[in-house]
Each structure stands twice: as C-alpha cells, then as structure tokens.
Amino acid sequence: MRVARGRSGKLSVLTVGAAVSLVLAGCGSGADTTAGGGENALPGVQQYLDAPCPEAGTKPQTDKEFTYWSMWTADEPQGKVLQKAFKCFQDKTGVKVDVQWLGRKAYTQNLAPALNTDNVPDLFDQDVSKVGAAIMTPGGTQGVDDVFAMKVGEGDKTVKDVLSPSSYDFPQNKDKEGKNFMVPYTLQSSAWWYNKDKVAVKDFAEPKTMTELTALFDKAGKSAISLDGDIPFYNMYYFTQLAERYVGPGGLYKAATDKTGQSWKTDPGFLKAATETAKLPKYLIDGWDAAKFPQIQQRWADGDSSYLYVGSWAPSETREYLDKQGSGQKINYGSFQFPKPDGATHDTVEQMSIGFSVTKKAKHAEGAKAFMAYFLNKDILSGIPAVADNLVPRTDLAVPDDLKALKTVMDDPKKEHVLQYDGIDGIAGGKWQTDVFDPADTSLLKGKLDPQQFVDQLAAKGAGFWKTQG
Amino acid sequence: MSAPTDTVARAAGPGRATGSRGGHLTRKRRLFWPFMIPALGLYLAFLVLPTLATVVLSFTKWAGSGDTPEPNGVDNYVQMWNNDSFQYSFQNTLIYVFAGGIGTFLLAFLFTMVLRDMRGGKAIRAILFFPNIVAPVALGMFLGFVFKYQPGKQGLANFMLEHVGASAAKFLDPANVTWVVTASIIWASSGFFITILMAAVDRIPPYLYEDADLAGASPWQKFRNITLPLTWDVIGVAGVLWTINALKIFELVFVLAGPGTYSPPNQAWTLGIYVFDRTFGSNGTPDFGAACACAVAMIALVSFLVVLLRRLMRRDVIQF
C-alpha cells in the first residue's frame, strides 16, 4: 500500500486493514512490490539509499533525541527517504529520532486531541492548509523562523538560501504573531495528465484556449476524461481551476467567506467559469459518478481514457498500480495546465507546500529544528524526487521526468501562484466545502444544475451556511 | 482426586459457617459494597461521566485541541438542525432503522416459517449467520467490488444484471447508495435475527404445531397463531437490538459510499458519520461541540425509538 498523494484519496489504516482482510479472503491481486521495484522502477532509488550521509550544517547542543509523528507510513517512498535521513542525522549529530508512522490523518486523529495533553511530538508534518486550520489556529504550533537561518550542510548555505520563496512566504503560512509555522520539503500542484505515447499525435500542442482543450477531448473519443467522482477534492478541480483564472488568487476564498453569498453573483467571473466547467461533463468517462477510488484512475492508467486531472502525485500512484499489475505496461507521462479561458485575466498555477512544523509544547524543539534544516540538504532532499517521484521547493535539484513540464510551469516567474483550491477546502474546518460547495459542484458536473443555477445555489446555500455558523 | 478436596471442603466448611442464618445475612450485606463498588466505579468512570460530559460539551464551542470549551448555549443544536448534512444524516439513519428493520424482520419471519420444519434447517441457519462474522469494513470493501460499475468489466451485481438482459445500474452513485447499503444490511443482519427468533421458536412445544397440523392449518396460520404470540417478547428484544444497531451504522456506509478515508458525499451520511466528520474535521479544525450535540441527539433518538417500540410491543406474557 505505497501511495504518495497529498490532498486526496489517501489510504487510511481502516482501508488498509480491510484490504488485508480481502487479500486473506483470496481477492487480492497478490503481486506486491517494494518501493522502486518492478518494471516501472525509478532509476536511482538504490543509488540514493546507498549514498553516504552528508555532514549536518546545524548540530543540536543539548538535545539527544526528539519525537516525530509522520504523515507517511514506513513503507511508502517518503517513509524510506525519511528513514535514511534519520539514520544519517543520528550518525552525524548523535540525535535519535523517535518516529511514529501514523499516516495522513495523524494531524487530526492523533495530534489534535493530543494537544490537550503534554504528550505531543516535537515534530510533525502535513500540508500548510491542514496544519493551519487544525493545529496552528488553536495555538498548537510555534514559529519556525529561526530554522530559515540554519545551515543545511552545504558550506554557508542556509535554509533561506536554498528554498524558493514562493514555497513558504505567503499569508497562509503565518501564525497569529506573523511568524512562519511550516518549513516545506515537498511541493504539489495539479495538471491534466496524459500518456505521450498514446495521445500525442504529431500535431499535439498544449491547448491555449478552451476550444482547443475541448477539441482534444473530441478527438479522444467517448471516454476522454477519467475522474474518481467519490472524492470531492477531485471533482472540485474543474470549477476552481477555471474560476481562479477569472478571479485571480484569493478571489474564490473571498467569495466563499462572504457572509451574504452575493459575491458569487456580483463577480461575473464565477458564472463564466461555471459555464466553461459545464462544457466538460460530456467528456467524463461513463461511471465516474458511481466510482470507487482508485478504479477510475486505474482505468486511465489502463488506457480506457486519455486524460486525467489530478495532483502531481498522479505518476507515482499510477506507476505503482501498473507495477502491481505486472503487465509490463508503461506510461510516458505528459502534463499540461488548464488554458486561460476567453475573458479570463489571470495566468495562474496552483501550488501546495507540505512541510515540517514544531509543536508549541515540544520538549526537544532544538533537535527537531536542526533536523528540519538537515532534511533540506541536497543529498538528503534529493530522495523526494528520486525515490518518491515528487517535487521539492528547491530549484537546483533534479526533477523527475514525469514532472518536468509541471515544474517548468511552477518555476515560471510570469505565472501567478495560487494556493491549492485557493484554500476554500479549509474554510470552517472543511464544513463549508462539504455543506455548500460539494453538493452544488456534483450537480453541476452531473448536469442537474445549469451554470446560472449553480452560482445561485452557491450564493443561497453559502449565505444560509454563514447564518447558522453565527 | 475429588475425595481429598471434598474432605478439605467439608472440614473447612463448618469452621467458617458458625452462627445463625442472620449472621450469614449480615456478612452478605457487609460484602455487598466491597463487591459493588469496583463495578459501580468503573461504570461511573467509563460510561456515566463521559455521557454527562458529552451533554455538557454539547453546549460549548470547543475545537478539542488544546483550547478551552466556551459555553455557547443551544447554538450547536440550532446549527445542527439547520445544516443540510445533518438533515441528510438524520433522514438516512431513519431509512436504515425503518426500511432496513422492516426488511430484516420480514426476511427473518419468512425464514422462521420455513426453517422450523425443514430438513437441514439447522445447517441453513448456520449458513445464514455467516455474513455476521465478517467485519462490516471488510464487507464494505468487498461490496465495493460487487457493485462496481465499469462497462465491459462490471462487478458481480452488474454482471448478473447484464446477463439477464437488464442494463447495468450505478449502485454507488451517492443518490442510490443509501438503498444499496440498506439492502446489504438486510442481507448481512437477517441471519443474526433468524438465529435469535429460531431459538425462541425452538422453545415452543411441538405438540402445538402438531395440533395445528391436524386441524389443517396453513404455514401462515401457524405463524400467525402460534409462532408470533409465543415469541412476542423475544421479537420485542430483537427489535430493540436492531434499532440500536441501525442507529450507529457507520463503517459500511463510510467505505462503500466514499473513498474510505474521507467522509463520503453528505447525501449518503448517517448520524455516525456526521459525528465522525465533526470530530475529526473533513479538512481541519475539529468541532467537538457540534459532534457532542449530534451524539446527544443520537442518544435522544435511540431512547425515544426504544421506548416507543416497547410500548407498541407491550402484551401480557403468555405462559407455556
């Protein structure tokens, strides 16, 4: 169950347990591979794991250990990279890391309740929106600005020197005192994915207009787009991607938090975005609305459909699936962004930072912070692209082939960076999305609401939501 | 082996049992509290106090992560009642209690009519009980495959539908999933209730049925005039058990209607999922106050339904 994924569809202990039962019941596929094994293996996994440990730039003076509650599991690629980092950190500084592999829900199911006690980890990780909503807001984190001045073990280079500013320097990463509460080590974004060997005809060009995009889908035939419709976060991409291009960074967030709900109607961009979104459902694969993740995504990997819009974890997930299938099938991953629709004024790209934070009650903050700096050392951090097939917030490390197109877009200085979904998924602890957005969004994609009704419903239900929130 | 033990017991017995019957009672009374207190203490600490705490916390705003609960009156209840997700949860839970209950008991009655004088009834009873030994989570995962919709590569259910010439159905569409889960629960739990009811049926003296046979009674008449009245108290208890179980339905819906990690679309929620979502937050700050309010509503609902059921089922007990 090695799955690298940020925002959505993470496999819980619950699911894994049930899957194990199923395997025991004889329904499992059987073939299991370790990270990097199989015919879809990434080159350089073993090379990374066997490489010598770099020196630590910052050594803790007093701490001999610290505890870390991980969002990963030990057998995931990220888990393997972290284990190598712990080993190296202990070799070079003598500080032992006491790790608990808790998975993606650690921050709400383990950490949030633990904040009522003194039994908290020193270090934990998640994406900045989640940490902000669940841990920083109730006062569970401490500022980590001092980490940015720490040396990473590459001469005099500090954390601040190696990180791209757009990965940490934005309002959502500031606590109540204005200090950063997270230091990123992974970046995520999203894109249209396709198999270059299959889709790319000679005249394939990245679509620059919505007409060109739909023309691509027309060419793809009946099942152009795969979408696992049981994951609301996946359904959400289409409208939010298009709306961000009309209303710019912060626009969706502003409308969603408008207590009267009227912004949805007064800004014409939302209706236009909904109108563009409504052009897509006819290309969705049959069965997307009765989906059971990850079946539909696997149908894309199998070649049943041509395009898939999800996050930058798409290659690592589908690669693993193909590996387990053992059919020898490979995907030559290509990606492109949503085009700027007619009348839209913002050239945006979404970005989400995943990183380490330190708890307020941490007993070994010094050790934890030194490790945060050490993990950004290029010889350690390079495991994230090399082993986990993910992007990092440094510009000087190798980029996995699958993600090169996406990384180019993200590093493009002309692009406006927007936080994933413009952060509307974190509003009111996620309740706004569940109660107001998701039902309307599903109805728009299913054709039960037309664009005008969609916008009207967001306005009406949004106003109702905020009224009861008090 | 037993002889020496007996001797020891007899020898020790009279030594301790000196005194009158009153003395025995006094000692019994003296022992009452030492035996009672541990049980009472555990019950108070792990059940009564948490329940009271839930009630108190339902009148507060509390993220449950290091902050202090702030009283906010009945706000949580008002918000909950006006909330679409709660409305869906409430309706779906009632569907499970009533539609699921009626289906389960109809099926159970049907089997009690047939199984009683069927050859191999005991074996069939055991087989019908099988779905109960599977954990609901595993069942949900398994049914996810059974109800898969993929043209050309259908799950078992759609494969059979197509085989008989019907068109495949989107079972896992959030709009349909409540009914799919209801059917699954009827299938999974009727074996349990058949077992309970059959145990009660086995107590009924066979001559009553023989007598009815001689009088030429149909299976329905036998059920209506013998089985039903003589198992009435057991049916009542089974009904209460069902209500409590149906009200806390969670795992099956969670894995079948959603990806298994995040809450499914709110259209498919049950009250249990509502509490879970508010406790652990779909994407951020938990809302323990709101979760407690829903938990209190669940306690109120289950109490109301159980009392109602007991009232409806009240009859004079028939001695036999």
In order, the DSSP letters of B190-230 are HHHHHHHHHHHHHHS-HHHHHHHHHTT--HHHHIIIIIHHH
Q: What 8-state DSSP symbol labels residue A147?
A: G
CA distance A423 to A60: 35
Instruction: Spell out which residues of chain B touch residue A432, defining contact as CB-CB under 8 Å.
Output: none
CB contact under 8 A, B265 and A17: no
CB contact under 8 A, A108 and B141: no
Instruction: Spell out which residues of chain A touch residue B66, defining contact as CB-CB under 8 Å.
Output: 115-116, 138-140, 360
Tokens at A304, concatenated: 């049943």
Q: What 8-state DSSP symbol labels residue A41?
A: P
CB contact under 8 A, A21 and B170: no
Tokens at A325, concatenated: 């299938």
Sequence-distant (≥ 6) Cβ neighbours of residue B234 within 8 angstroms: B196, B197, B199, B200
Q: Which of A292, A317, A448 best tests the B interface by mutation, with the highest count of B CBs <10 A?
A: A292
Residue of A nearest to B256 (CA): A292
Among candidates A233, A290, A435 on the partner chain, residue whose Cβ is nearest the Cβ of B170: A290
CA distance A401 to A334: 9
Q: How far is B290 from chain A (nearest CA, A)?
A: 11
Q: How far is A120 from chain B (nearest CA, A)?
A: 11
ipTM above 0.95, yes or no: no
Model pLDDT for residues B81-130, shown as the tens digit of each residue: 999 999 999 999 999 999 999 999 999 999 988 888 788 888 888 898 99
A123-127 vs A65-70, strand pairing mode:
parallel
Residue of A nearest to B67 (CA): A138
Bridge partners of residue A307, in order along the sequence: A225
How many beta-carbon pairs under 8 angstroms link A with B?
Answer: 173
**3-class secondary structure, B151:** coil
CB contact under 8 A, A232 and B265: yes
Per-residue pLDDT at A470:
62
Among candidates B64, B79, B264 on the partner chain, residue whose Cβ is nearest the Cβ of A230: B264
Torsion angle (degrees, nearest 10) of CA A121, A123, A390, B284: 60
Q: What 8-state DSSP symbol labels residue B155?
A: -
Per-residue pLDDT at A379:
95
Taken in order A447, A453, A455, A456, the sign of the CA dihedral is negative
Instruction: Spell out which residues of chain A touch residue B75, defining contact as CB-CB under 8 Å.
Output: 470
CA distance A469 to A465: 6
CA distance A222 to A307: 12
- Residues A125, A70: contact at Cβ < 8 Å? yes
Q: What are phi and psi of A318, to 5 degrees?
A: -75, -30
Per-residue pLDDT at A19:
40
**Helical segments of A327-449, H only:** 365-375, 378-381, 383-386, 404-411, 431-432, 438-445
CA-closest candidate to residue A319, choices A185, A187, A195: A195
CA-closest candidate to residue A112, choices A96, A97, A93, A132: A132
CA-closest candidate to residue B113, choices B226, B242, B235, B207: B226
pLDDT tens digits, chain B, 320 residues: what are they? 444 444 444 444 444 445 567 788 888 888 899 999 999 999 999 999 999 999 999 999 988 888 889 999 999 999 999 999 999 999 999 999 999 999 999 999 999 888 887 888 888 888 989 988 888 899 998 999 999 999 888 999 999 999 999 999 999 998 899 999 999 999 999 999 999 999 999 899 999 999 999 999 998 899 999 999 999 999 999 999 999 999 999 999 998 888 877 788 889 999 999 999 888 766 667 889 999 999 999 999 999 999 999 999 888 777 77
pLDDT tens digits, chain A, 470 residues: what are they? 333 344 443 434 444 444 434 333 333 333 333 344 445 667 788 999 999 999 999 999 999 999 999 999 998 889 999 999 999 999 999 999 999 999 988 898 899 889 989 999 999 999 998 898 889 988 899 999 999 999 999 999 999 999 988 899 888 899 999 999 999 999 999 999 999 988 766 567 899 999 999 999 998 877 899 999 999 999 999 999 999 999 999 999 999 999 999 999 999 999 999 999 999 999 999 999 998 888 999 999 999 999 999 999 999 889 889 988 888 888 999 999 999 999 999 999 999 999 999 999 999 999 999 999 999 999 999 999 999 889 999 989 999 889 999 999 998 889 999 999 998 988 887 889 999 999 999 999 999 999 999 999 999 999 999 988 76
Query: What is the Cβ-side half-sphere exposure of residue A81, based on CA atoms within 13 angstroms?
Result: 28
CB contact under 8 A, B286 and A289: no
CA-closest candidate to residue B282, choices A34, A428, A443: A428
- Residues B246, B97: contact at Cβ < 8 Å? yes
Instruction: Spell out which residues of chain A touch residue B150, defining contact as CB-CB under 8 Å.
Output: 287, 295, 299
Long-range contacts, stretch A9-13, CB < 8 angstroms, 24+ apart: A9/A228, A9/A231, A9/A233, A9/A234, A9/A293, A9/A294, A9/B259, A9/B261, A9/B262, A10/A103, A10/A104, A10/A105, A10/B261, A11/A103, A11/B260, A11/B261, A12/A103, A12/A104, A12/A105, A12/B260, A12/B261, A13/A103
Per-residue pLDDT at A323:
87
H or E stretch covering A430: none
CA distance B167 to B169: 6
CA distance B310 to A227: 48
b/e burial code for range A395-429 (CB count within 10 A of at least 16 → b): eebebbebbebbbebbeeeebeebbbbbbbbbbbb
Q: How far is B276 from chain A (nearest CA, A)?
A: 10
Per-residue pLDDT at B262:
79
CA-closest candidate to residue A425, choices A317, A337, A352, A336: A352
Q: How far is A269 from chain B (nearest CA, A)?
A: 26
Among candidates B135, B142, B280 on the partner chain, residue whose Cβ is nearest the Cβ of A108: B280
Per-residue pLDDT at B121:
82
CA distance A359 to B63: 17
**Amino acid (one-letter) located at B105:** F
**Amino acid (one-letter) located at B289:** G
Residue of A nearest to B139 (CA): A18
Residue of A nearest to B142 (CA): A22
CA distance A184 to B93: 42
Residue B24: Cβ-neighbour burial (10 angstroms; 0-12, 13-18, 19+): exposed
**3-class secondary structure, A351:** strand
Q: Which of B59, B269, B282, B288 best tests the A interface by mutation, with the highest count of A CBs <10 A?
A: B282
CB contact under 8 A, A135 and B65: yes
- Residues B293, B77: contact at Cβ < 8 Å? yes
A96-101 vs A123-127, strand pairing mode:
unpaired
Instruction: Spell out which residues of chain B touch residue A233, defining contact as CB-CB under 8 Å.
Output: 262
Tokens at A270, concatenated: 């939302």
Residue of A nearest to B63 (CA): A138
Question: Any idea which residue has 């060109």 for tokens?
Answer: A212
**3-class secondary structure, A9:** coil
CB contact under 8 A, B82 and A468: yes
CB contact under 8 A, A21 and B84: no
